[in-house]
Structure 1
Amino acid sequence: MTTPATAFATFNVLSYRWTPNEVLDGFDRLCADGVSACLTELKRRRRSHGSAAIDLVETIPLHRYEAVLDRLGAEARSRLGAVGASLAAGDLPRPEQCRLVTEEAWRLSRLLGPAIVTGFGSIPYLPTTLSEQPAAARLRAIVSDITAGASARYGSAIGCADYFAGISDMSFFGEAAESGLDVVARNTPMWREGIRWRKSGGLANIRTINIGPWGRDYHTPLERLHIGHAFDVLLQVVRDVCAALLTKPE
């Protein structure tokens, strides 16, 4: 039985109110706690089986991707960029591209393992919310008024949620903290070669809401849609929100 030289795992994180740096900080802590517990257990097993002669490392360092990248000189960075450009021209999923670039960056850094490298593996979807700005407050008031009278108006109750627990274009159009992208850019291996994002002004920061259909298990093989709501009630709601925004004064 052999042990692989590397292992790679990716996770989807519902960030809610967390900034990207808070997400990565939390993940770093989980990794550090996990590897510490693993070493403690290995040492316990070594003692219980009388294998004290087997050397074990005392700690396993954790590096963010940016720390590995900082060790590279100009030539190594150029070689790493060529790897990223080649991967960007292919059709591998973004997390797989990031895995390969991370492995190459580690090799070029000449760092020794065992170690953990953390970072981001794909395009970020930043959490958005309606701000307290007058235009956003006006949109919120219009939607609240329409949903409050939805049962009488459409024959169907409609509710409002402060957060959409899924991937949405609101992350690029809505009001979000663009400052959080700095840590994402530094720790996403395919950021420059494979993810096209402006250094500033990459988010529209437009007051945005999601008026969606009624269904279950979206983005899964069991996804289903309530046809009556989607092709009748939903259209009326969108119409009434737009009409209110266009006719009511700022």
Structure 2
Amino acid sequence: MTNDTAHAIATARARDLSLLMTRWPSVTGSPDEAHFSQQLRAHLAETPYFTRHPDQLFTVDSHGEPLTRSVAALVRGSGRRTVVLAGHFDTVSIANYGTLAPLACDPEPLTEALVKELRSRPLNAAEARALTDFESGDFIAGRGLLDMKSGLAAGIAALERFAGLEAREGNILFVATPDEENRSRGMRSLRNALPEIARRFDLDIVGGINLDASSCERDGAEGRAVYLGSIGKFAPFAFVIGRPTHAGYPFNGTSAHRISAEIVRAMDTVPELSDEAFGERSPPPVCLEARDIRDGYDVTTPDRVWLSFNWLTHRRSARDILGDFQAIVSDALETALRAQDDHATRYRGRDAGKTEGLVLDYAELLERVTARGGHAALARLKALDDSLAGSTDPLKVSREIVSAAATEAGIEGPAVIIGFGSLHYPLVHLDQSEAGRRMQARLQPVMEKAAARHGTSIKFKQIFAGISDMSFFGHRPEAGETGLLTANTPSAAFTDDAPDGLLSFPTVNIGPWGRDYHQKWERVHAPYTFGVLPDLVFASALACLGE
């Protein structure tokens, strides 16, 4: 079979399989997500290679009720060198399609319906752009088509093209995982299982290609890319404890809202808190949640206020983030208390004195819980954590546990408890290892040849800006980081309990591009995704397999 014929087959296969898998709904946490792996395994089992080698197509248990599983498909050649192609199959909700929700997972009818809707009314700028894209014929809509079933399809097309080679050097393992949109439990369980898979099949895993989607709002140049790393994410929280007072006597207490407002002012969108590394700059932190902790109305100032932030990083470690956050919160607490003391002095016409405050990290809070309530208090907190384990809202879980811990410790305000409210996604980058730098050097000529072959451009980009499974794919977390994060994350469900003996190998992201993923107008750029991407993934895998 000629290369042109093989490429044409892969292009058609990528398109057909993308549309097929999109028609299999798989919203995170739904029974459909659990069922998807059965559908995909059954489909692959009917292909020629896995009809002959059924033992090389299998599933890996992940999590949930009903149980979700990852699908693994291995095509063997000569030798032990192996590249892993990986992507997730879960999607976000279809609720934002409104009356078009029944069509959300049927790409072609959905695209037609969206065009009809957009043509029927005045449009904002984003909608006008979506209509232009759809009318060009180059873009197709569908929940999960862009993010990221078309990436999975490109990986399968590359795998099958590899299976069609007469003389295969090396091996390709394709994996499709659940739960990326929640807390990457699919990839983390697959990561934990990889050492045993490698032993079972005698594989030496030398590299990985993640297949996640990217976005470009212009001509696609930013989407036609090989990403050398993925951004890091922290979710620091501040649990503010004031001294409540009747609204008619505001200076008899301390306002938790004033303290929280100062923390938000010092953190939210402050450019100096962003990272610069690899020639790129991360976004500054933003406040994701701010709420007082009470259920009903009264005229008493709130006792407790919860704040949670999203802090994306290109270089900062967990210790850096916790230290910087503690300094910011301490300064903000001091600023708020001095302001209220000054207001009290001016209102009363006499010196109001100096109010003192306290900042503790969650690990320090637990020390106070132990000192005051002993093992019984810790057991009550664990029981609370266990009862909340099924929740998909990490901030709610963390908020309730911290509130209970503050009560167990007898903390009185003004005080602020800090820690991490959700799963940490580690920064990963090829530049962190010699093997990674070699991988980049191998991919450079592959990209140049693929771009010339398809009459387009393909470039390296340093950091994949969306939170992705790439943070756990081939990444062995540092023990020091893991210990600090675990000690300061209230719920065990949102820590990464990584076992010993994990494999470490360089990874890149090579995926489809489109626009507005997770939105109603989510759409994939078909010519690149179906025509160029399977070829690029195949050629990149072969390059990594070379000795």
TM-score, with normalisation over the residues of structure 2?
A: 0.42
Pairing 1:237–2:536 present: yes
Q: Deviations over 1:62-120 (max 9, x none)?
A: 100000101211111111111111111x4351111011011111111122222100011
Match of 1:2 among 281, 284, 300: 300
Give the root-mean-square deviation of aligned CA atoms. Answer: 2.3
- Worse-matched range after superposition: 170-179 or 69-78: 170-179
Distance in 1 between residues matched to 2:532 and 2:300, nearest whole Å: 59
Residue 206 (structure 1) shift: 2.2
Distance in 2 between residues matched to 1:20 and 1:202, nearest whole Å: 22
Match of 1:117 among 407, 417, 422: 417
1:10 is paired with a residue whose SS is strand
Residue of structure 1 in register with 2:447 after alignment: 147
Residue 32 (structure 1) shift: 1.3
Q: CA contact under 8 A between 2:443 and 2:540: conserved in structure 1?
A: yes
Q: CA contact under 8 A between 1:15 and 1:23: conserved in structure 2?
A: no
Ranges in structure 2 where 5+ consecutive residues have no aligned partner: 1-298
Q: CA contact under 8 A between 1:129 and 1:174: conserved in structure 2?
A: no
Residue of structure 1 in register with 2:386 after alignment: 85
Distance in 2 between residues matched to 1:188 and 1:202, nearest whole Å: 24
Pairing 1:61–2:361 present: no
Q: CA contact under 8 A between 2:362 and 2:417: conserved in structure 1?
A: yes
Number of aligned residues: 244
State the one-letter code of the partner of 2:490.
P
Q: Deviations over 1:162-211 (max 9, x none)?
A: 222221111111345423111100000102xx246435438643211111
1:112 is paired with a residue whose SS is coil
Rate the CA distance shift 1:96–1:203 in 2: closer, same or farther, 3 A: farther
Residue of structure 2 in register with 1:173 after alignment: 473
Distance in 1 between residues matched to 2:469 and 2:410, nearest whole Å: 40
Pairs within 5 Å for 1:161-240:
161-175=461-475, 177-179=477-479, 180-191=481-492, 194-195=493-494, 197-198=496-497, 200-201=499-500, 204-220=503-519, 223-240=522-539
Rate the CA distance shift 1:148–1:204 in 2: closer, same or farther, 3 A: same
Distance in 1 between residues matched to 2:363 and 2:488, nearest whole Å: 5
Distance in 2 between residues matched to 1:94 and 1:135, nearest whole Å: 35
Pairing 1:97–2:394 present: no
1:215 is paired with a residue whose SS is strand
Structure richer in strand, relative to its length: 2
Distance in 2 between residues matched to 1:215 and 1:103, nearest whole Å: 42
Q: CA contact under 8 A between 1:216 and 1:223: conserved in structure 2?
A: yes
- Worse-matched range after superposition: 7-16 or 130-139: 130-139
Q: Deviations over 1:102-150 (max 9, x none)?
A: 1111111122222100011111101111246453232111222223344
Residue 50 (structure 1) shift: 3.5
Pairing 1:17–2:315 present: yes
Ranges in structure 1 where 5+ consecutive residues have no aligned partner: none
Rate the CA distance shift 1:70–1:203 in 2: closer, same or farther, 3 A: farther
TM-score, with normalisation over the residues of structure 1?
A: 0.87
